[in-house]
Amino acid sequence: MVQYYLCPPVDEVRLAREVAPLVRSFNGAVPSVERLIELTREHGLDTSTMALYEALRTAPANAEFIARIEAEPVVTEPATSPAKILAVPALFYQHYPETGGDVALSIGIARACGFEVETIPIQSLGTITENARIIRDYLEREPAERVWLLTASKGGADFRVYLEHYADAAAIKRIAGWINICGLIEGCDIADFDIATPARRLKFQAICRAFGTRFDLLRELSTAHAYWREPLRLPPHLRVFNLAAIPLPSHIQKSLINRYQAISDLGPNDGMVACRRTVIDAGLTLPFLGYDHFFRGPQIAPVLYRFFSYLRRQ
- DSSP line for 226-240: GGGSSPP---TT-EE
Checking if the pLDDT of 6 tops 80, the result is yes
Contact between 150 and 184 (Cβ < 8 Å): no
Q: Give the C-alpha separation, 34 to 40, whole Å.
A: 10
**Average confidence (pLDDT) over 142-160:** 97
Sequence ranges of the domains in the chain: 12-185+240-312
Asked whether the whole model's pTM tops 0.85, one would answer yes
Q: Give the C-alpha separation, 211 to 209, whole Å.
A: 5
Q: Give the C-alpha separation, 50 to 128, whole Å.
A: 32
Checking if the pLDDT of 71 tops 90, the result is yes
- Per-residue pLDDT band at 59 (split at 50, 70, 90): very high
Q: Give the C-alpha separation, 308 to 302, whole Å.
A: 10
Q: Is 299 helix (H, G, I), strand (E, B) or coil?
A: coil
Contact between 90 and 101 (Cβ < 8 Å): yes
Please give the pLDDT value at position 293: 95
- Per-residue pLDDT band at 77 (split at 50, 70, 90): confident
Q: Give the C-alpha separation, 154 to 104, whole Å.
A: 16
Return the minimum-mean-pLDDT range out of 19-33, 36-50, 72-86, 256-270: 72-86
Checking if the pLDDT of 287 tops 80, the result is yes
**Tens of pLDDT, residues 184-207:** 999 999 999 999 999 999 998 998
**Average confidence (pLDDT) over 249-259:** 92
Provide the greatest CA pair distance for the chain: 57
Q: Give the C-alpha separation, 109 to 147, whole Å.
A: 17
Architecture label for domain 12-185+240-312: 3-Layer(aba) Sandwich (3.40)
Please give the pLDDT value at position 55: 98
Q: Give the C-alpha separation, 59 to 306, whole Å.
A: 20
Contact between 36 and 267 (Cβ < 8 Å): yes
Q: Give the C-alpha separation, 269 to 265, whole Å.
A: 9
Rg (CA), the chain: 19
Sign of CA dihedral 223, 85, 53, 163: positive
